[in-house]
Amino acid sequence: MQLRVAGAQIPVVQDVSENVQTILRAIDFAAADGARILLTPEGSLSGYTHEIDHAATQAGLDQVLEHARDRRVGLALGTCFIEPHNGRCYNQLRFYDRSGAFLGFHAKILRCGTMTDPLRGEINHYATVPLRTFSFEGTTAGGLICNDLWGNPDCTPMPDPHLTQQLARLGAKVIFHAVNGGRDDSDFSRVTVFHFHQSNLQMRAHAGGLWIVTVDNASPLDKPCSAPCGVVAPDGSWAVRTSPVSEQFFAWTIDV
């Protein structure tokens, strides 16, 4: 079985309407390249914030879903979202099939926070749900968000549960990984953090025998992403990889 996937290394800002236009452009690329599902970065619709404009995010989601449905593209859509059934905010990767049907969401589990007592950071602002898999056109897939995959020791105030290995045991063949990493001009950010992210992607794909599709926020457009974007094969090699600077799209056919 084969699955053609697309990824969007795109800028993520706090303006929902601007994010919507960027995602629509990514959907057009995916459709033109024959992809069946598109992955976008963490917070790519709402902006990466727990203080979201829920009405604007819901309206933007409706617009994105209509565009994707019309072009027959499924979505692994990164957004922060307030669930109406309980009023809680989740940092999500929302899965939709090519008809626009909602398949469910992954909520970030390894939420970042300080290593101090009491904890401070996004761990105080976002709720989570248990890890699960999703069935997309016969392929068992998982979703992870940024720190879920690599467990950065600077900002993970809980043990690393090796979520990639858990998803492999649940039968996942491919993981969609949405990233929105911090970056600056320091050597530590450009070299150490980038290579930490890169090596974790490759090692964990190899350890789990998994395909990993991964995309990062491209903003600011003149600085390299915090992590490489593309598709990692089950042997730990890169099947396709983008330039780390500016907006980039890719598509690849995965043999699952």
pLDDT above 90 covers a percentage of the chain that reads 91
Read off the pLDDT of residues 170-196 as tens digits, 9 standing for 90 and up: 999 999 999 999 888 788 888 789 999
Stretch (H or E) spanning 194: helix 194-208
The domain total for the chain is 1
Tokens of 27: 């959907």
- Band of pLDDT at residue 24, cut at 50, 70 and 90: very high
Q: What is the number of residues in the chain?
A: 256
Segment (H or E) for 25: helix 16-32
The per-residue pLDDT of the chain, averaged, comes to 96
3-state secondary structure of 208: helix
Which residues, listed in sequence order, are joined to residue 6 by a DSSP beta bridge?
38, 251
Whether the Cβ atoms of residue 239 and residue 231 lie closer than 8 Å to each other: yes
Helix/strand/coil for 8: strand
pLDDT at 196: 96
pLDDT of residue 141: 98
Query: Which domain, by its residues, includes 231?
Result: 2-255
User: Pairing between strand 211-215 and 230-232?
Assistant: antiparallel
pTM score? 0.97
- The CATH number covering residue 208 comes to 3.60.110.10
* Long-range contact set of residues 162-167: C-beta below 8 Å, sequence gap at least 24: 162/204, 163/109, 163/110, 163/131, 164/204, 164/205, 164/207, 164/208, 164/210, 164/212, 165/204, 165/207, 165/208, 166/131, 167/131, 167/133, 167/142, 167/208, 167/210
Give yes or no for residue 163 having a pLDDT over 80.
yes
Summarize the confidence of residues 41-59 as an average pLDDT: 96
- Span 36-55, mean pLDDT? 96
* pLDDT tens by residue, 75-115: 999 999 999 999 999 999 999 999 999 999 999 999 999 88
Q: How far is it, in rounded angstroms, from Cα 185 to Cα 229?
A: 19
Cβ 142 vs Cβ 172: under 8 Å: yes
Residue-wise pLDDT for 28-38, tens only, equals 999 999 999 99
Kindly state the DSSP code that residue 123 receives in the 8-state scheme. G
Specify the amino acid at residue 43: G
Q: Please give the structure tokens belonging to residue 144.
A: 């992870």
